[in-house]
Amino acid sequence: MYRKPVQLYASERVIEDFYEAIASNNTRILNKVHIPKSDVFYVREALRSRLGKSYTLDHVERAMYLEGHLKRHEVLDPDRKRPGVG
């Protein structure tokens, strides 16, 4: 039986989306939430505190991948170009 692949999406509300899906027992939403590695959250916060500028989780994750800190399978859409990031 053919199963359609699940389309994941990047969100700045990862934690909220995750808990909302669990609270409503909605596995369809839960399966679509892309949760970056914890390193991405830490690096984003370090950048914000040092540079005073906020970057999206998607941008930080892609930059970490391009710099070799994340593997291809750990990144949402690793080949998709992001504005301002390689």
Residues 9-56 have pLDDT tens digits of: 677 888 888 888 889 988 887 777 888 999 999 999 999 999 999 999
> 85 pLDDT exceeds 60?
no
**With DSSP H G I counted as helix, E B as strand and the rest as coil, what are the percentages for the chain, rounded to 5?**
50, 5, 45
The H or E element containing residue 20 is helix 14-23
> 73 pLDDT exceeds 70?
yes
Nearest C-alpha neighbor of 76 from the set 37, 41, 50, 38: 37
pLDDT value of position 29: 78
pLDDT value of position 71: 96
**Of 10 and 81, the one with more pLDDT:** 81
